[in-house]
Structure 1
Amino acid sequence: MTPIAAPPRPAVSPRVTAKAWLFAFLGANVLLVTVFFVNGGLSDNPLISAGRLAGLYAAQAMAFQLLLVARLPWLDRRLGMDRLTAWHRWTGFTLLWTLLAHVVLIVFGYASVEARGPVGELVQLADTLEGLLRAIVAFVLILVVGAASARFARKRMAYETWHFVHLYTYAAVLLAFTHQVAVGQSFTSHPVARAYWWTLWLGAGAAVLAGRVGLPLWRNLRHQLRVVAVVPESPDTVSVYMTGRDLDRLPARAGQFFLWRFLTKDRWWQANPFSLSAAPDGRTLRLTAKAVGESSASLRSLRVGTRVFAEGPYGAFTTIHQQQPNALLVAGGVGITPIRALLEDIAGHVVVLYRVRAPQDAVLLPELRGLAKARGAIVHVLSGPSDQRGPHGPLLGTESLHALVPDVDDRDVFVCGPPGMTAAVLRSLRELRVPSARVHAERFSLAA
């Protein structure tokens, strides 16, 4: 079989297009809010004016946060959930600091006008201004969520616990919005500004409801997924096959993942991200998972006929981002699952580098070699401990990559594996001067 022919590529990559639209949207909104603030009139006290502007930017950051995690398909397929989640995280810290600036500047500003201490002024404002107590509760909730999202705290929490705490953000959004409606100068100064804020908040809320609730419910009601086979691939790895109705209409691509819920008594409440380990064929979906925890280990006990609720597909780790005629696929461990699916779908001549600790850890290798033989691809299995060295140094170091794939700088490179391995490969690619636009990396924590 000859390599798959590359389809025509757009002049501008989908990722660049999505970034441009997203940042243009954000910039236009920041400009509008600044204009509304200036037209609304400035306070004689510069602290109060700065505090009001910080509050408006905080409200905007809160709405933008909702948009980033709404899981809108157009954005997700072009930017990826991992990138959107990272931006959501940084927007959250921006929100935290702008809210803190809003509170401090307003309190100290009014305290200087009233010749009162900041604590006394805060008590006075809470007693006299409508909606301020709600705003204080919203601020406390955001502080709690921000603390739970800090890296040292996040690593010590189960995903379900962290997610439950994070849901308080929606309560904070509602409380903050009622405060803005009650005393926000943009709501009281001009009908155009008032219409803008209503549109922004309602649009952000509608995006979340559509992407996080409406679309998953509609797709699951339509496709009715259920387990049809559970196949052990190795002593600690298992594949789960699913089928359903009208799967040819499910917009899933090789390289993407779903959040899977298997509707049994003991695990219906758990949602786990697993990549598709085979390209969707319109009849079945397959995931392959390694037993790295209680949840993934329990997949072996799934029964045929178990109903499945799947959110997705998610992820930008797909061939829509391929720019060059040929490709290099690099997988580490169970990161082979989206790489194996991509091998079915990606265009041109393909080289696959599969990094494992020991040869017996190379799951799906017979399938991988069968696909490679059928389409004229090359597969290299690189085994050994993390510090293993070959004839050209570290197995995924600069010299080794160049020796295995001399034309690596003329290929698109797709990388999926544990964080340490992924970081090492990305570092080697930078040293080899492979353009960043041709490097596509999936965060292992979301992908497999």
Structure 2
Amino acid sequence: MDKSDYYGRRVLVNWVDQQQKPDSAIKILPTIAVSTQTVRCYRCNTETPKRLAALPNGEYYCPHCINLGRVSTLDKFYHVPEPNQFTVKEPVLSWHGQLSPLQARAAKQVTSRMKGHQRQLLWAVTGAGKTEMIFLGLAVCLARRERIAIASPRVDVCLELYPRLQAAFASTDMAILHAHQELPYHYAQLTICTTHQLLRFYHAFDNLIIDEVDAFPFAASPALFFASRQAVKKTGGILYLTATPSAGMIKQVRRQQLAVTYLPLRYHGALLPIIHRYLAPRWRRQVKKGALPASLLHRIQLAVANKHRFLLFVPHVDDLAPVARACRRLLAGLKFTTVHANDPHRLTKVQGMRDHQYNFLITTSILERGVTFPEIDVLVLGADDEIFSTAALVQIAGRAGRSAKRPTGHVGFWVSAHRKNVQQAIRQINTMNRKGRRCQSEVSHL
């Protein structure tokens, strides 16, 4: 390996098979701490009872992050402290777009805090243009030869961000890291990666940006939260991006432990599309008989008549096939497919929707965030199912109205009963829109 492969990383090496001493600049770090009852992994910080982590001959391994390569007491980590060995080429920012006055104000706050390496939150509604709002901060920090990572819990988001960042920072060397990639790792000033890949880094980044910070699995994983803190230098900053922050983050904001920049309007200045609720008490029984709720079928026919594409969300993978059969019977001539998290062709299908190969996709919540299809409607069958959290429903609703050409879009939720998750999602969007109206009145004064 080239020495630069160790910069700001902990690279797993089998110490037993190692025949040659490494370069003197490479630090050799332990992989696992062994105590009386448990072992603790230095990569993911997870503690495991010894009996569940035992290998032969008194050795131990970590079963929790094994998908990144088995860490055991037979191994060591090779590490070189981050040297920031980058050559800056002008112009750093090759993006020539223009921010709205509200976006520009938010971007200025974010940039100031990135320069100061603060912990901060950009709390902006879905479709507010969060990515474009971080361009200025990225440009300033890249010009200072800082190393930066942009991480997301989802591969789809990384794949969408990467070409946009390549276009915006054409002179900057960047790498993309995720479980399905084919290109080998290389040392780069800007890294786009899944949050799981942060487990491989150690005090590497001067600034770390985590997009969709409330999304699974990051929001529910202490190991990934630990990885995000370990990946940043001790003097580094973290910027969280989301439209639906967790209660814990909101509490940190209130306690002034986390700086916040808030933007309740989308980049085109329009409010969020409101949620329309429809009652469909026995929709699964109808679907099994090859039918759809009459109001849903009518809404789909309206979308088709107006040449609007759409996403049709269902609660569970098991719902996909019967809903697809009903759609084939009732919507002859339309092109569509199903997609879910473990679909081997998921990325190809999503790209097909971007390329207008489909009139619509039938999907689970895997497409609730991180993907943008302009000028679409959003329909959710079984929105009251407990699988959909309030945050998920807000994100799903936010897939509509993301284009300036069509900033409205129809958002329809079909429910068996009026439940809390749907009511709270409606209330949250209405609250955001109230704040958005106040911001609209401020625009003329900026």
Shorter-chain TM range is under 0.3
Give the alignment's TM-score, normalised by structure 1.
0.23
